Structure 1
Amino acid sequence: MRQGEAVNRHADPAAWWKAVYSDVPLTTQWDDGDHSGDRRGTTPTSSNSPPTMVFSMLAALDVDGAGRVLEIGTGTGWNAALLSHRLGAGNVVTAEVDEETAAEARRRLGRAGFRPTSVVGDGAKGHPEGAPFDRVIATCSVGEVPYAWVAQSRPGGVIVAPWGPGYGGEAVVRLTVGDDGMASGRFVGSSAFMRLRRQRAFRPGSLEYLSGPWPADGAESSTSLSPEELGGWPAMFAIGVQVPGAFPRIERYADGSYTLWLHDTAVTSWATADWEPGRGSYEVVQSGPRRLWGEVEAAWSWWDDRGRPGFERFGLTVSPDGHSVWLDSPDHPVPLRD
């Protein structure tokens, strides 16, 4: 099933084959399996990634000469089949949180002649019984790399995972595990994956932040920074790293204008910026102990002052105490604004 339409292999095999061989994501589950039928559900919760994304991540994983591999997120089983073909199924462990999805993947893999170790459970825990691993690859995104993945990797091992802050923006990071129990490496390309189930976030609606009729208790001001400048994936990534615990929403209007809402996850602060075509100044309203527009504007300016770096200039270091995002080298951590 693709995002917009159902494709049934038996009812329309030609359309099914066309979809499977297209370089697009194919949604295979909605709403954690609670949805059924031909119409799309509310939230896609499992999918088959575009071939170009699958192959680029496997290239970053660099399994030539590698031994054992742990995959987080079995999904359809296609990626596990590719790993099994290259390394032998006995060297592949694939973990899937959804029992039905895992069972269907096992059936597909078996029909293809592959029987990797299939684990049903929380991928954030890895698979300590099969450790140590030479490679770990995640087919779901994370905002924090579970340290279990590092601890279960051999020194010199490689971890490839989509990583992104809660604000938005995401890229695939390639980490190398050191003898000191830390893992560090650069981001290698843009991505957009479903979140690891344990790390999904609840996003309150905008009205839950208001204390009364508009503009509630908000302080009004203006800015020359267009909300349009904040919408690109690298910009959102750079903002999100600096402004933790915040996320945006867009409220669009019939005339093409829109309001950018900024919220904090603690439900204490909010801000809005109104965009209209042809304007050079934009109305801002802020409320709460955090001045979210000020934080976001400062974060964007930091990114802009450094030449608007793309993902390839950013890197990530993971330790038992947490993680740190850096620009160009680990000696230059990205600042925090909260």
Structure 2
Amino acid sequence: MTDPASERRRMAAVLANKGILKSPRLRGAVEAVPREQFLHPGVFLDEGRTWRPVTAVGTDPGKWLRIAYSVDTLTTQLDGHLTADQTGEPVAGVPTSSSTDPTTVVGMIEALGLTEGHRVLEIGTGTGYATALMCHCLGEDNVTTVEVDPQVAVRADAALESAGYSTWTVTGDGLLGHPHRAPYDRVIATCTVRRIPYTWVRQTKPSGIILGTVGSWPWGTGLAKVTVGEDGTAEGAIIGRSSFMQARAQAVTPLAGDLSARTAYADSERTALVSPLALEEWMPAFLAQLAAPSAQFVRAARDDGAQLRYLFDPERESFAEFLAEGGIWTVRQGGPVALWDDIERTLVAWQDDGSSAIEAVRLRVTNRSHLYWIDGSPLLRWEHRLT
């Protein structure tokens, strides 16, 4: 039979060989915390268009451990309610909770630079596995974790207790932080947010670090790492690509209905200087979200197979529709804001500047605005004011 302890050591070795797991203290946590206990009652395995449920009960123990230590993201909830024990057949659905792949989890915890005595606020408990790793490193009394979904929170709390970690688990909106146990030395978010909430800055000590994924699309999002200053602002950089489920309070509802009806009345039409297909690449998508923070990018096709791409900004009642013919894209725009004009200017400036990677982006968070920029590039600067 497969031994859980040996599987944990194997996974730790894999992460260390990748250069992800560096700290002896965190390696000890990875080798000690039983990930399989945080996956109950089961997981959904991606089969393309459907999700196959696999439960701890009824699955060969060796197979269950191989799944648990596969270094993959494992979906634990669909559509905000469905767990693997509630269905015996593959089902369609949208993932709403998961155990993120250990490569990402461990990499983020390493980026926090945890030391003895640090107090951490975690936004998005999920299964509780990352919470347990930090509890092992710092002690359970130094970790506070917030989960918005009551069912997910209950399962995580039970798993933490069974693994021996009686930490501070809170059910609530993580965008508000948890002021009752502030200030914190570190804040880590395992969900995507449109911007770093200033409440997190207020609840973090000067010289403390906040780590969270920013953006609003399923791709093209960046891992922001900022340090809080004595003046109550926070400054740092995007340190890499990152992808998490959107914070529940900020989740975007997919546009339904006849999309062509939404674009019936255009104010302008012209040839696009940049193909909208660029938005399917990570860095251009990230820049597009900086240029038009509330816009959604939608892919579709006509009955004849012709490609269609759209940008919709419900907050500003504007749209851009893209039509391809002979390799040339035409853009039709309508509403108070010319969405594609703003994004296209950013993409052209970025290309002219050398097409830097996402790690070139810096940011500053204040109580009034969020400022992003690329050093030495005056045209690559975006300020989002809070109203």
TM-score by length of 2: 0.79
Aligned equivalent of 1:139, options 177, 180, 190: 190
TM-score by length of 1: 0.89
1:313-332 correspondence to structure 2 within 5 Å: 313-328=360-375
Give the structure 1 partner of residue 250 of structure 2: 199
1:6 partner SS: strand
Shift of 1:88: 0.7
Give the structure 1 partner of residue 315 of structure 2: 266
Distance in 2 between residues matched to 1:251 and 1:263, nearest whole Å: 13
Shift of 1:294: 2.1
Higher relative contact order (CA 8 A, sep 6+): 1
Aligned equivalent of 1:239, options 288, 296, 303: 288
Distance in 1 between residues matched to 2:302 and 2:324, nearest whole Å: 10
Give the structure 2 partner of residue 2 of structure 1: 45
CA contact (8 A) 2:273 2:344 kept: no
Opposite residue 64 of structure 1, the aligned amino acid is T
1:106-255 correspondence to structure 2 within 5 Å: 106-165=157-216, 169-205=220-256, 207=258, 210=261, 216-217=265-266, 219-252=268-301
Q: C-alpha offsets along residues 230-289 of structure 1, whole Å, 9 cap, x if unaligned?
A: 31111111111012321110003577641111111236222221346xx44222222222
Structure 1 pair 215/332, CA: closer, same or farther in 2 (3 Å)? closer
Shift of 1:171: 1.2
Asked if residue 284 in structure 1 is aligned to residue 335 in structure 2, the reply is no
Q: Which runs of 5+ in 2 are unaligned?
A: 1-43
Q: Which runs of 5+ in 1 are unaligned?
A: none
1:93 partner SS: strand
Give the structure 1 partner of residue 124 of structure 2: 73
RMSD (CA atoms) = 2.7
Q: Which runs of 4+ in 1 moved over 6 A?
A: 329-333
Give the structure 2 partner of residue 22 of structure 1: 70
CA contact (8 A) 1:143 1:166 kept: no
Distance in 1 between residues matched to 2:267 and 2:303, nearest whole Å: 25
- Percent identity between the aligned chains? 35
Shift of 1:91: 0.8
The structure with the largest helix share of the pair is 2
Distance in 1 between residues matched to 2:218 and 2:103, nearest whole Å: 26
Mean alpha-carbon deviation: is it higher for 177-186 or for 279-288?
Answer: 279-288
Structure 1 pair 217/189, CA: closer, same or farther in 2 (3 Å)? closer
Q: C-alpha offsets along residues 109-167 of structure 1, whole Å, 9 cap, x if unaligned?
A: 11111111111111112111111111111111101212121111111111111111459
Distance in 2 between residues matched to 1:76 and 1:208, nearest whole Å: 37
Shift of 1:8: 1.7
CA contact (8 A) 1:313 1:327 kept: yes
CA contact (8 A) 2:99 2:127 kept: yes
Shift of 1:84: 0.6
Asked if residue 302 in structure 1 is aligned to residue 349 in structure 2, the reply is yes
Give the structure 1 partner of residue 156 of structure 2: 105
How many correspondences in the alignment?
Answer: 334
1:195 partner SS: coil
Distance in 1 between residues matched to 2:152 and 2:313, nearest whole Å: 34
Shift of 1:175: 1.0
Q: C-alpha offsets along residues 52-90 of structure 1, whole Å, 9 cap, x if unaligned?
A: 111111111111245211111111110010001100111
Distance in 2 between residues matched to 1:330 and 1:220, nearest whole Å: 30
